[in-house]
């Protein structure tokens, strides 16, 4: 696995510390000499000093054919240009572009960047989800909020408790991916019984989240 | 709006293109984040000057960029220019798009798009060759 980490400061160092070793070929490019020195010293990885949106910088740092190219600089357009160059000229399989302006998420995706991440966008999504969720439910947004994974604990007063999956007519717009029944993980089939205290991992579209939760929460 | 020319980046090149187009009778809109840059527009400029960040898409839309016939992109940042060229070509499908790049390698990233690029570096080099050959005299403007 070859990963290019382009730009950034503390966030770059954190990602490098997570990815280094483990059979990963890391290419680190940073425009700041000070940040580069800090990363070399603390993470013991080589750092190419240069601008990742320049063709010669990606050439000289051998950033060809990366499995992932991660652009972390503080300028959204610099990250856009770096990702576009990596994708079209250096054959990067997947580009991750970090942006500070959340409205750039959808825009950059529409212009051809695979994955655009904004911390305020993610924060907004999770606040939106959490405000609609009560204590028994946790949710995780996937695919930029298009899909949600709901974690729901079954209570004995729920209508679905102690019934077979095929008998509860679980809605067609959602799917129970797995059930955690401590210490086991069960991949449910039609004849699986749903028991109190089971933790259901349910996948659905984000717009269906509320009605899925309402369905699970039905009481006898 | 149909015959509007939008100039993004009112530096020396952008302002000079805006002045020229305005005097030739085009409807011109100039966008720059720095209002002081509009001092470069001369008294005969009869278009609209809007102060807006070139990377703020909502502001560009308010300024009328999506319905422009021509877009001239001349901010001082190549990466902003690249983004704007892609935006104008892919999202707004503006019929005529011109972009200035200091780095000639940026040309690789607009291949296949309806975008024409201007490279000051190449123009200077070509002019140097002509001057050196004596093909053109040195003192003309």
The pLDDT tens digits for A167-191 are: 999 999 999 999 999 889 999 999 9
pLDDT, position A124: 75
pLDDT, position A22: 74
The pLDDT tens digits for A81-132 are: 999 999 999 999 999 999 999 999 999 999 999 899 998 877 777 776 665 5
CA distance B82 to B96: 15
Give the DSSP letter of residue A186: E
DSSP 3-state assignment of B138? coil
Q: Are A210 and A217 in contact (CB under 8 A)?
A: no
Angle at A92 between CA A90 and CA A98, to 5 degrees: 115
Q: Are A25 and A36 in contact (CB under 8 A)?
A: no
Tell me the residues of chain A between 34 and 73 that have a Cβ less than 8 Å away from chain B. Answer: 53-56
- Give the nearest chain A residue to B92 (CA atoms): A111
Higher pLDDT, A158 or B94: B94
Beta strands in B1-141 (DSSP E): 4-8, 27-32, 48-51, 70-73, 96-100, 116-118
Q: Are B68 and B98 in contact (CB under 8 A)?
A: no
Here the ipTM equals 0.89
- Nearest-Cα distance to chain B for A87, in Å, is 10
pLDDT, position B1: 44
Reading the block at residue A56, the tokens are 């010669």
CA distance A212 to A80: 37
Reading the block at residue A130, the tokens are 């959490």
pLDDT, position B80: 97
DSSP 3-state assignment of A10? helix
Q: Give yes or no for residue A134 having a pLDDT over 70.
A: no
B79/A75 touch (CB, cutoff 8 Å), yes or no: yes
**The pTM of the whole model exceeds 0.80:** no
User: Among candidates B87, B84, B117, B112, which has minimal Cα distance to B102?
Assistant: B117
pLDDT, position A205: 92
pLDDT, position B140: 54
In chain A, what are the domain boundaries? 2-117, 128-216
Mean pLDDT by 10 residues, chain B (141 residues): 85 96 94 95 94 93 94 97 97 97 95 96 92 79 52
pLDDT, position A130: 62
Instruction: Kindly give the interhelix angle for B78-86 and A76-88, rounded to the nearest 10 degrees.
Output: 70
Would you call B112 an interface residue with chain A, using a CB distance cutoff of 8 Å?
A: no
Tokens 């102690």 belong to which residue?
A162
Q: Give yes or no for residue A7 having a pLDDT over 90.
A: yes
Residues of chain B contacting residue A84, judged by C-beta atoms under 8 Å apart: 82, 86, 109
Superfamily of domain A128-216: Regulator of K+ conductance, C-terminal domain (3.30.70.1450)
- Give the nearest chain B residue to A101 (CA atoms): B56
Tell me the residues of chain A between 96 and 135 that have a Cβ less than 8 Å away from chain B. Answer: 101, 103, 107, 110-112
Which residues have CB under 8 Å from A108's CB, separation 6+?
A76, A80, A97, A99, A116
| Minimum-distance CB partner of B87 among A55, A84, A111 | A111
Confidence tier at A141 by pLDDT (50, 70, 90): confident
The pLDDT tens digits for A36-89 are: 999 999 999 999 999 999 999 999 999 999 999 999 999 999 999 999 999 999
Distance (Å) of CA A13 to CA A35, A116, A197, A212: 9, 20, 41, 40
pLDDT, position A8: 93
Tell me the residues of chain B between 43 and 82 that have a Cβ less than 8 Å away from chain A. Answer: 55, 57-58, 77-80, 82
Would you call A80 an interface residue with chain B, using a CB distance cutoff of 8 Å?
A: yes
Would you call A138 an interface residue with chain B, using a CB distance cutoff of 8 Å?
A: no
Residues of chain A contacting residue B79, judged by C-beta atoms under 8 Å apart: 53, 75, 77-78, 80-81
Q: What's the mean pLDDT when you consider all of chain A?
A: 90
Q: In the CATH hierarchy, which top-level class contains the domain A2-117?
A: alpha beta
């Amino acid at each position: 696995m070859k990963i290019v980490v382009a730009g950034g400061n503390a966030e770059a160092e954190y990602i490098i510390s997570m990815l280094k070793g483990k059979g990963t070929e890391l290419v680190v490019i940073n425009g700041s000499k000070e940040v580069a020195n800090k990363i070399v010293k603390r993470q013991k990885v080589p750092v190419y000093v240069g601008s990742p949106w320049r063709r010669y910088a990606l050439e000289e740092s051998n950033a060809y054919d990366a499995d992932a190219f991660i652009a972390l600089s503080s300028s959204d357009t610099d990250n856009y240009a770096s990702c576009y160059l990596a994708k079209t000229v250096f054959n990067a399989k997947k580009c991750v572009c970090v942006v500070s302006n959340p409205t750039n998420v959808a825009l950059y995706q529409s212009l051809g960047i695979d994955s655009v991440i904004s911390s305020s966008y993610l924060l907004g999504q999770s606040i939106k989800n959490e405000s609609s969720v009560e204590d028994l439910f946790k949710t995780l947004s996937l695919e930029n909020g298009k899909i949600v994974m709901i974690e729901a604990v079954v209570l004995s007063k729920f209508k679905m408790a102690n019934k077979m999956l095929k008998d509860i007519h679980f809605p067609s717009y959602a799917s129970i991916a797995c059930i955690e029944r401590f210490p086991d993980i069960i991949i449910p089939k039609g004849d699986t019984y749903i028991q109190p205290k089971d933790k259901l991992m349910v996948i659905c579209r984000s717009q269906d989240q509320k009605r899925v939760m309402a369905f699970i929460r039905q009481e006898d | 709006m149909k015959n509007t020319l939008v100039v993004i980046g009112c530096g020396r090149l952008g302002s000079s293109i805006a002045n020229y187009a305005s005097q030739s009778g085009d409807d011109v809109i100039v966008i720059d984040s720095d209002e002081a840059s509009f001092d470069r527009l001369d008294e005969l400029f009869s278009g609209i000057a809007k102060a807006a960040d070139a990377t703020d898409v909502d502001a560009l839309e308010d300024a009328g960029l999506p319905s422009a016939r021509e877009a001239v992109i001349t901010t001082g940042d190549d990466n902003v220019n690249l983004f704007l060229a892609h935006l104008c070509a892919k999202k707004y499908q503006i019929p005529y798009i011109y972009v200035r790049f200091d780095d000639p390698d940026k040309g690789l990233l607009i291949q296949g798009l309806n975008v024409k690029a201007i490279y000051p570096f190449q123009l200077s080099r070509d002019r140097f060759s002509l001057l050196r050959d004596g093909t053109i005299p040195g003192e003309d403007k």
